[in-house]
Structure 1
Amino acid sequence: MPEKILIIDDEHNLLDVVSDYLRKNSFEVYVADRGLKALEMFHEIEPDFLILDLNLPDMSGEEICREIRKISDVPILMLTAKTSEDDKITGFSLGADDYLTKPFSPRELVVRVNAIIRRAKSKGNLSEIYSFRNEDLVLDNSRRIVRKRGEEISLTPNEYKILHTLVQYPDQVFTRSRIVSVALGFDFEGYDRTIDTHIKNIRHKIEDDMKNPTYILTVYGVGYKFMGDVK
């Protein structure tokens, strides 16, 4: 069955163009031009993907994202005319999976949608063992074991949770606050900046060169991402 995509935007020309491109790529498309209407439709159709504009007449896209994240981890691609770093950080911290600035190419949007959906499917279908770069790094989640070049390495419980979370979403940027909420939970008693210390410790254990990491990369001004294809 084709994935169901709900597009939420009050620009009707954009809705028409984006809908056409997505339908041509075999998606089942639904549209809403108001936030409240979109939330109603979300419960009715249970979409597999959300394309969400931040500037809506009745409520902000941030509010919608916040409401959706209370009940669902459906992938969300945010659309906005805002270009500041703070706006992007806010979007990611609320749980957006990607961020596309207007104006944009509909072809690029389709590519991003497909990439995010592949990552989301991978998260649900991957085996319990994640292997990278010819078994240079192996994470056996069923036994909560991590190996570097065949040697078992010791991670603290929080370090393991953070690494496991990043591994499940390769090439996806995580803010510190999102790492806290997804990996450690809202009852985590540390601070966002504590994540920097955890990342430093994980890198010390899995990277060949701390100054030039190849697995966990820093996205300056935003957070971190994990690089490597799961096999």
Structure 2
Amino acid sequence: MTAKAPLVAILDDEPEIRRMLQDALEEAGLRTLAYARATEFEAALNRVTPDVCLVDLGLPDRDGLALVHRLALESGAVIIIISGRAQVQDRVTGLELGADDYIIKPFDPAEVVARVRAHLRKGRSGTERVAQEARFEGWTALFDRYLLVNKDGAEVAFSHAEGEVLRLFLESPKRLISRAQMQESLGGAAGDSFDRAMDVRISRLRTKLGEDPKNPLLIKTIYGAGYIFLGDVVWA
């Protein structure tokens, strides 16, 4: 049986942009669903599971950033913001809330297709490279369910973006990971926005792992060099 093409869900209240994105993505061999309102989009998520969500922030019926944050916590989809908000702080906030990428309007549809394909390739290679479950220091990371489970069975959800960082650490325990290596592995443009997004994701992972922010035991910052994950890791 032939595998289905990846599904891209588009949420934008501008009909021209929805049509333009659908045409470009379907021409590239991807399946699409498009929605004008957040309520329609959220209702559809009960029936379909997209691989990628393209989300506009300027929605008529919902705060776009709040929706991005919910998607990051509850779905396993890649989340790409498409917005006319071009300020650095807007991009940083979107990434902090769990988005995987941020594209500024106006854009070339070919760029969107290229970004979508890049994230899908990264996701497939990650799935093939390692198992979906890892155990470390009393914790179990379930990457297929986006959950951390402690030794007492309590569950803590993590976002797709946080999971990418956690996987990077668990794949290379007790080895220095530089900012440059993180940028090369996780993608995105190097610079202050990327660094700030990484700082926030790592801070949130530390919180979820019950780390003391002043003296973390698992994810150590090596100032001026990068990070080291100090736990023993066993992949299931």
Compared with structure 1, are the counterparts of its residues 182 and 116 closer, same or farther at alpha carbon in structure 2 (3 Å cutoff)? farther
TM-score (norm. length: structure 2): 0.65
2:221 paired residue among 198, 203, 222: 198
- Aligned: 1:175 with 2:175: no
2:108 paired residue among 105, 109, 118: 105
Q: Is the 8 A contact 2:206 2:213 kept in 1?
A: no
Instruction: Give the CA deviation at 1:4.
Output: 0.6
Tell me the number of residue pairs that the alignment of Structure 1 and Structure 2 aligns. 177
**Stretch deviating more after TM superposition (169-178 or 88-97):** 169-178
- 1:171 partner amino acid: G
SS in 2 for 1:22: helix
Mapping of 1:12-161 within 5 angstroms?
12-127=15-130, 144-146=173-175
- 1:170 partner amino acid: L
> For residues 89 and 100 of structure 1, what CA distance do their matches in structure 2 show?
12
Q: Is the 8 A contact 1:39 1:64 kept in 2?
A: no
Residue 211 of structure 1 corresponds to none
- 1:7 partner amino acid: I
SS in 2 for 1:91: helix
SS in 2 for 1:78: strand
CA offset digits 1:7-40 (Å, max 9, x no partner)? 0000001100110110011111001111111111
- 1:69 partner amino acid: A
> For residues 205 and 169 of structure 2, what CA distance do their matches in structure 1 show?
19
Q: Is the 8 A contact 1:55 1:80 kept in 2?
A: yes
Q: Is the 8 A contact 2:221 2:227 kept in 1?
A: no
> For residues 2 and 98 of structure 1, what CA distance do their matches in structure 2 show?
21
Instruction: Give the CA deviation at 1:85.
Output: 0.9
- 1:180 partner amino acid: S
Q: Is the 8 A contact 2:57 2:82 kept in 1?
A: yes
Identity %: 24
Instruction: Give the CA deviation at 1:185.
Output: 2.5
TM-score (norm. length: structure 1): 0.66
- 1:37 partner amino acid: E
> For residues 54 and 169 of structure 2, what CA distance do their matches in structure 1 show?
34
Compared with structure 1, are the counterparts of its residues 188 and 33 closer, same or farther at alpha carbon in structure 2 (3 Å cutoff)? farther
Q: Is the 8 A contact 1:9 1:33 kept in 2?
A: yes
Instruction: Give the CA deviation at 1:169.
Output: 4.2
